[in-house]
Amino acid sequence: MPTYNEAERLPRTCEMVERIVSKVGISDYEIIVVTNTALDGSHDGTLDIADNLAENSKHTRHIRNESCAGIGYRFRQGVEAATKDFVMMIPGDGEFDEESVAGVMANLGKSEIIIPYIGNPRVRSPERQLMSKSFTSICNKFFGLNLKYYNGLCIFPAEYLKAVPMSCNNYAYMAEILIYLLKSGVSYKEVPFKIKPPINSKGFKAESINETLESLISLFYKINIEGVRVSID
């Protein structure tokens, strides 16, 4: 659960996740909250709240970054620390529909990886919809794929993630993982999920878009020119 400045929403999100896993009958699970600060080292108290959550829940752990860290870097930290068989990214802002996420989790085991896509995209602003469609189209054209969405709450076998040479720290990190695995022949199932109307957006600034495009160009070279693939036993 990568989390940045979500002091008010983080506790509710963790409670929601615990309700969701209970609904789908999962008892052996862990919530790994990964926090970071702003560039100047400041934060809104989220780091301390995450410490408290970890102290009071047997299912929750906290990885605390006392500096600014990209979402891809924080996701890798969570993957490296994961001890269970499967990994799912859930954002700390809780901007997702509880029943929809339970529906996504209910597909566990129906394919090697589960790839959710947003079933109610119109709750987002027209600008965000356009950005998302453009990003998806670029990924599909660059890599010969046909996914509906590259930034969802995907479910992966932990061993698969640990085999992927992840290097992306920005918002292309999930696309990097999916592209490596799908081009390596891993099977998948796409399922819809719903999100809540976004309260804010921390990721899609001009510099974030530039970093994302640079990451995709680098990945294009690795996948299509060098022919890098992931070895899955």
Per-residue pLDDT of the chain (233 residues; tens, 9 = 90+): 999 999 999 999 999 999 999 999 999 999 999 999 999 999 999 999 999 999 999 999 999 999 999 999 999 999 999 999 999 999 999 989 999 999 999 999 999 999 999 999 999 999 989 999 999 999 999 999 999 999 999 999 999 999 999 999 999 999 999 999 999 999 999 999 999 887 555 545 555 788 899 999 999 999 999 999 999 87
Q: What is the model's pTM?
A: 0.93
Query: Is the CB of residue 50 less than 8 Å from the CB of residue 5?
Result: no
